Chain A
Amino acid sequence: MAILRLRHTPASRHRPSWSVDPARGVTLVTLWLLLALFVIYPLLMMLAAAFLEGGRLTIAPLLAILAKPSHRSAFLNSLLLGLLVGLIGTALGFLFAFTVSRARLRPAWTRLIDAATLLPLISPPFTTSISFIFSFGPRGLITYDLLGIKGANVYGLASTLAAEVLTYFPIAYLALRPVLSGISGTLEEMAFSLGSRRLNVFHSVTLPLAIPGLANAFLLLFAASLADFATPLILAGNAFPVLPTEAYLQITGLFDLKGGAILSVLLLVPAAIVYLLQRSWVARGHYVTITGKVGPQSSIRSVTPTARRMLLGACATVALFILYLYGLLVFASLVAAFGADHSWTLRHYQVIFTEGRKAIIDTLIIALLGMPLGGLYGVLVGYLVARGQGAGRYAMEIVSMVNYALPGTIVGIAYLIAFNDPPIALTGTAVIIVACYVFRYSPAGIRTTIALLQQIDKGLEEASSSLGARSSTTFRRVTFPLVMPAFLAGVGVVFIRSMTAISATIFLVSIGWTLITVRILENMTELSLGPAAAFSVFVIVVVMAVMAVLNAILRRLPTATGEQMQWGVGGG
């Protein structure tokens, strides 16, 4: 989940006349009520489930959970996995970003790299995991058929790590590319012309300047891995349990809501630490702006031809491996029975459009409901945060980020606990899934709104209100068109996540409302590999189509700034 964070420097010298406007007041109150209901209340209910017993506060169940070696090791495994994914993923992201920004690639190579890094960001979970299962292991296409290794093991840390790195490193790549482009080439040029060797320039100029960006990327990847539920469910096996899957099994298998809640609280601690670290780091303002000026690049000199070939070779290898994993998926969706009967068939696609019709329709309805709501919510919160005053705006900013910063498993369990029984019984409805998506995936829209509004002079809106327009009119006629790109970004992210997320919503599907991702998991565990692969291919195609449409709209907008659509995509 990559979001470009910016330092905001509110410079409000004038107290705007619209601050006491009733429409604004109503919006503010409504948003706070919604945040209280869908962010604060579920979290409190989950903490209550974990720590309250008969009305008394107790940590006995927590100690009981911690006493189990398997749970302790799940906690440590989660941290270890997050750490490794963060380190390796950041390194890989940096490699890609450096190559793209410094190695003067031909357009074909850039296209290959863009395609390979985009795919994991917009895929349903399991996609790389499925291909991993078939590529490695005792009879894996790579381990056995290609390398002739017998008895290779596909379950455990190594494959989970590899699959998560490939799934999440594009986040680091997207976060680091503007950082590297933002480092003025002139600096490198200067160092170079003063006699530094290339490696020294990299070392003493490029790398130090990129360090804040690297730290940010590391934290984003750490958080993404910590929250990832799908990859470990398929690949971690029994020897390497991690918290999100353990919490899921605790609840769905043993129906131990309390145990699940406690395991989630364990997950909450590192997630909160990472979030606060990342926030304070970026708030210090080391970061380039979202439209970061691309200075003249020192591409001619910063890499030697040999280094260029090596960089390109490394990136191409990774990119081709990713494309291979997806190629395998497409193949599995088009043959009768992968590994046994490779005759071509469209049967699996027929199955997903007949038997899977309900899941597809439900998912699309939920996505269509969530898109405008999520986009609007993001813009409104972003607007109130960017243009409001006082401590309230910071409180709103932080609360609006909570569901996003928390691993999906926690959010799902919290919603299940909070909305299963009256007074607010929402389980079984579409509302609970839509709410989950809106409040979990809108921060992308919020962030972009804030970023845009900081670049737009307040005078525009003040002119409108001083000419007598009410704040609602000003918002609709002046502000909203200006933050349209943010609205579209919010809409896009909510759509993509509606099509691909599972970690939270697996707890919230019901007889009335099911989701494609849950069906993929079901098919995966039921020998129906063909339909699982076909569903995945379908999701990727739909998401690509919608992203293309949104990007096309974005490009036509007067305030558009090309790349923003990609921010905020990715993660569990």
Chain B
Amino acid sequence: MRARDRYFDDADPSSKRCAGRRRQALTAALVSAFIGWATAAVAADTINAYSIWPENWARPMLVEFETATGIKVNFLRFSSGEALARVIAEKNNPKVDVLFGGPVETFAAGIKEGVFEPYKPPAVAALPARFKEADGYWTAIADDPLVFMTNQKFLTENKLSAPTSWDDFLSPAYKGMLQMADARTSGTAVTRIFSVLEVNGRDEEKAFAYLKKLRANVQLYTKSGGGGTLPVGLGQAAGGIFFIVDALDTKAKGYDVVISFPKEGIGTSAEAIALITGAKNPDAGKKLIDWATSPAMQGLFAKHKINFVPAHPEVKTEASLAEVLRGAKIFAIDDAYAGANRKRIVERWVTEVLP
């Protein structure tokens, strides 16, 4: 009751109101100072991008870009399916200028939706055909082969050697122990499924028969392409199929994993960049595309320990990465075929394989 009395005994309400005003003014000042601090970093020229590359790879590259050009890139990271879905949803009112990174099937699917603006950066002159879209709808910034990655301790305990054939993953030893990406959200998964189609001579029935058998050994389909790498590193899963960039990063972090390649061959997907139709700042967006497709960016992969294979012929593949890739049979996914069939194949995978 004492507190209540104090309140009602407050004889001079005007002084209280004054105090209230002062408090309000103080609050306003604090809030504006906070917002000032929060927005202080906005550079003169700014572009927005959705990045399909994880933060670990995208951020150092885009920071280097800002250092080189003074253009700041605001970016938000999504898995490729999510990023594409967003770009399509925002078609009438684009929120970003550039779609950065991600396997080309995603970009091929985007062309059909009319979300990209053709632009040919200077680098296209030097790039082989599979690293550029003929009309300039996208251009490659890196190449990213898939690999098999397995947990060393699991292999030892089960007296297995690292898998060297797609069929090795069908062994009962792996039952319920594989993790790989979910085709609904991840481009890694789409590249994987198209790899299976290629090694089966694009015979969809055979490919899906394999994928269904593989399903029995899958513990979890992850939302993101790299989502299974940590469980494999920890031994919570025995192995999986990942992009080399994620697999080598797992190894670099200290997890005891083995990287191997199937003798039938495995797909590689070019990582691309594209300008968004209706971009608010197309000129700066084009500068990012120029920079990312050139040796200026791809020469920095090694410095930041990013294990993408450079797309530009003038940039040498870093020695240890080249060593991992030596002897591996790697083929490119035909982006025209993949783009034309992506939606249908993914839907078939969702209905027939996933459940």
CB within 8 Å of B: which residues of A? 68-70, 73, 133-134, 137-140, 151, 153-155, 233, 237-238, 249, 251-255, 257, 336-341, 355, 361, 365, 368, 420-421, 425, 427-428, 477, 481, 509-512, 514, 522-523, 525-529, 556-559
**A253 with B354: in contact, given A138-B236, A527-B229 (CB under 8 Å)?**
no
> Contact at B255–A340, with CB atoms within 8 Å?
yes
20 contacts between A and B (CB under 8 A): A133-B236, A134-B234, A153-B219, A233-B223, A249-B223, A252-B81, A253-B182, A337-B254, A339-B234, A340-B256, A341-B254, A365-B38, A368-B31, A428-B90, A511-B48, A511-B49, A511-B50, A512-B95, A522-B77, A527-B230
Q: A152's closest neighbor in chain B, by CB?
A: B236
Encode B224-263 as 1/0 by CB contact (under 8 A) with A.
Answer: 1011011101111110000000100110011110000000
Q: B253's closest neighbor in chain A, by CB?
A: A337
> Contact at B3–A557, with CB atoms within 8 Å?
yes
Q: B175's closest neighbor in chain A, by CB?
A: A151
> Contact at B85–A252, with CB atoms within 8 Å?
yes
Q: B8's closest neighbor in chain A, by CB?
A: A558
Q: B84's closest neighbor in chain A, by CB?
A: A255
**A529 with B230: in contact, given A361-B38, A522-B55, A558-B3 (CB under 8 Å)?**
yes
* Chain B residues positioned under 8 Å from A421 (CB to CB): 92-93
Encode B118-140 as 1/0 by CB contact (under 8 A) with A.
Answer: 00000000000000000000000
* B315 located at the interface, meaning its Cβ lies under 8 Å from any Cβ of chain A in the complex: no
Of the candidates A155, A361, A525, the one having the most CB atoms from chain B within 10 angstroms of its own CB is: A525
* B96 located at the interface, meaning its Cβ lies under 8 Å from any Cβ of chain A in the complex: yes
> Contact at B220–A155, with CB atoms within 8 Å?
yes
* Chain B residues positioned under 8 Å from A527 (CB to CB): 54, 226-227, 229-230, 246, 249-250, 253
Q: How far is B151's CA from A339's CA once the two chains are assembled, in angstroms?
A: 13
Q: How far is B54's CA from A421's CA once the two chains are assembled, in angstroms?
A: 29
Q: How far is B218's CA from A355's CA once the two chains are assembled, in angstroms?
A: 34
* B88 located at the interface, meaning its Cβ lies under 8 Å from any Cβ of chain A in the complex: yes
**A420 with B4: in contact, given A237-B219, A355-B55, A522-B55 (CB under 8 Å)?**
no
> Contact at A70–B354, with CB atoms within 8 Å?
yes
Q: B54's closest neighbor in chain A, by CB?
A: A526
* Chain B residues positioned under 8 Å from A427 (CB to CB): 90, 95
Of the candidates A140, A527, A528, the one having the most CB atoms from chain B within 10 angstroms of its own CB is: A527
> Contact at B236–A510, with CB atoms within 8 Å?
no
* B74 located at the interface, meaning its Cβ lies under 8 Å from any Cβ of chain A in the complex: yes
Encode B165-186 as 1/0 by CB contact (under 8 A) with A.
Answer: 0000000000011000010110
Q: B234's closest neighbor in chain A, by CB?
A: A339
> Contact at B254–A340, with CB atoms within 8 Å?
yes
* Chain B residues positioned under 8 Å from A69 (CB to CB): 355
Q: How far is the CB of A73 from chain B (nearest CB, A)?
A: 8
Encode B319-355 as 1/0 by CB contact (under 8 A) with A.
Answer: 0000000000000000000000000001100110011
**A238 with B236: in contact, given A253-B182, A509-B76 (CB under 8 Å)?**
no
Q: How far is B91's CA from A425's CA once the two chains are assembled, in angstroms?
A: 13
* B308 located at the interface, meaning its Cβ lies under 8 Å from any Cβ of chain A in the complex: no
CB within 8 Å of A: which residues of B? 3-4, 6-7, 13, 31, 34-35, 38, 48-50, 54-56, 59, 74-77, 79, 81-82, 84-85, 88-90, 92-93, 95-96, 176-177, 182, 184-185, 218-224, 226-227, 229-231, 233-238, 246, 249-250, 253-256, 346-347, 350-351, 354-355
> Contact at A255–B88, with CB atoms within 8 Å?
yes
* Chain A residues positioned under 8 Å from B176 (CB to CB): 151, 153
> Contact at B221–A514, with CB atoms within 8 Å?
no
**A238 with B177: in contact, given A252-B185, A255-B88, A558-B6 (CB under 8 Å)?**
no
Q: How far is B344's CA from A338's CA once the two chains are assembled, in angstroms?
A: 39
Q: How far is B31's CA from A341's CA once the two chains are assembled, in angstroms?
A: 42
Q: Of B82, B229, B256, which is within 8 A of A253 by CB?
A: B82
Q: B74's closest neighbor in chain A, by CB?
A: A511
Q: How far is B82's CA from A355's CA once the two chains are assembled, in angstroms?
A: 22
Mostly, the B contact residues are mixed
> Contact at A559–B4, with CB atoms within 8 Å?
yes
Q: A526's closest neighbor in chain B, by CB?
A: B54
Q: A338's closest neighbor in chain B, by CB?
A: B234
Q: B219's closest neighbor in chain A, by CB?
A: A155
> Contact at A337–B227, with CB atoms within 8 Å?
no
* Chain B residues positioned under 8 Å from A154 (CB to CB): 236
**A526 with B56: in contact, given A140-B236, A238-B218 (CB under 8 Å)?**
yes
> Contact at A251–B85, with CB atoms within 8 Å?
yes
* Chain A residues positioned under 8 Å from B88 (CB to CB): 255
* Chain B residues positioned under 8 Å from A138 (CB to CB): 177, 235-238
Q: How far is B13's CA from A17's CA once the two chains are assembled, in angstroms?
A: 25
Q: A342's closest neighbor in chain B, by CB?
A: B254
* Chain A residues positioned under 8 Å from B185 (CB to CB): 249, 252-253
* Chain A residues positioned under 8 Å from B75 (CB to CB): 511
* Chain B residues positioned under 8 Å from A526 (CB to CB): 54-56, 77, 224, 226-227
* Chain B residues positioned under 8 Å from A355 (CB to CB): 55, 59
Q: A360's closest neighbor in chain B, by CB?
A: B38
Q: A477's closest neighbor in chain B, by CB?
A: B13
Q: Of B4, B77, B255, which is within 8 A of A558 by CB?
A: B4
Q: Of A133, A365, A525, A559, which is within 8 A of B223 by CB?
A: A525
Q: How far is the CB of B122 from chain A (nearest CB, A)?
A: 27
Q: B93's closest neighbor in chain A, by CB?
A: A425
> Contact at A428–B95, with CB atoms within 8 Å?
yes
Known: A253-B81, A254-B81. 10 other contacts (CB 8 A): A70-B355, A133-B231, A138-B235, A138-B237, A254-B184, A255-B88, A336-B253, A339-B233, A511-B48, A526-B55
Q: How far is B55's CA from A528's CA once the two chains are assembled, in angstroms?
A: 10
Q: How far is the CB of A511 from chain B (nearest CB, A)?
A: 5
Q: Which 5 A-B pairs have the closest CB atoms?
A: A253-B184, A255-B85, A139-B235, A525-B224, A340-B254
Q: How far is the CB of A325 from chain B (nearest CB, A)?
A: 16
Q: Of A73, A257, A361, A511, which is within 8 A of B76 by CB?
A: A511
* Chain A residues positioned under 8 Å from B253 (CB to CB): 336-337, 340-341, 527
* Chain A residues positioned under 8 Å from B250 (CB to CB): 527
Q: How far is the CB of B88 from chain A (nearest CB, A)?
A: 6
* Chain A residues positioned under 8 Å from B219 (CB to CB): 153, 155, 237
Q: How far is the CB of A100 from chain B (nearest CB, A)?
A: 27
Q: A155's closest neighbor in chain B, by CB?
A: B220
Q: How far is B223's CA from A251's CA once the two chains are assembled, in angstroms?
A: 13
Q: How far is the CB of B36 from chain A (nearest CB, A)?
A: 12
* Chain B residues positioned under 8 Å from A151 (CB to CB): 176-177
* Chain A residues positioned under 8 Å from B35 (CB to CB): 365
Q: How far is B4's CA from A525's CA once the two chains are assembled, in angstroms?
A: 52
Q: How far is B4's CA from A427's CA once the two chains are assembled, in angstroms?
A: 46
* Chain A residues positioned under 8 Å from B90 (CB to CB): 420, 427-428
> Contact at A525–B222, with CB atoms within 8 Å?
yes
Q: How far is B94's CA from A425's CA once the two chains are assembled, in angstroms?
A: 12
Q: How far is B222's CA from A73's CA once the two chains are assembled, in angstroms?
A: 20
* Chain A residues positioned under 8 Å from B56 (CB to CB): 526, 528
Q: How far is B38's CA from A338's CA once the two chains are assembled, in angstroms?
A: 32
Q: How far is B6's CA from A527's CA once the two chains are assembled, in angstroms?
A: 57
* Chain A residues positioned under 8 Å from B230 (CB to CB): 339, 527, 529
* Chain A residues positioned under 8 Å from B234 (CB to CB): 134, 139, 338-340
Q: How far is the CB of A93 from chain B (nearest CB, A)?
A: 31
Q: How far is the CB of B332 from chain A (nearest CB, A)?
A: 25
* Chain B residues positioned under 8 Å from A251 (CB to CB): 85
* Chain B residues positioned under 8 Å from A238 (CB to CB): 182, 218, 220-221, 354-355
Q: B27's closest neighbor in chain A, by CB?
A: A372
Q: How far is B8's CA from A559's CA once the two chains are assembled, in angstroms?
A: 12
Q: How far is B229's CA from A238's CA once the two chains are assembled, in angstroms?
A: 17
Q: How far is the CB of A204 from chain B (nearest CB, A)?
A: 40
* Chain B residues positioned under 8 Å from A556 (CB to CB): 3
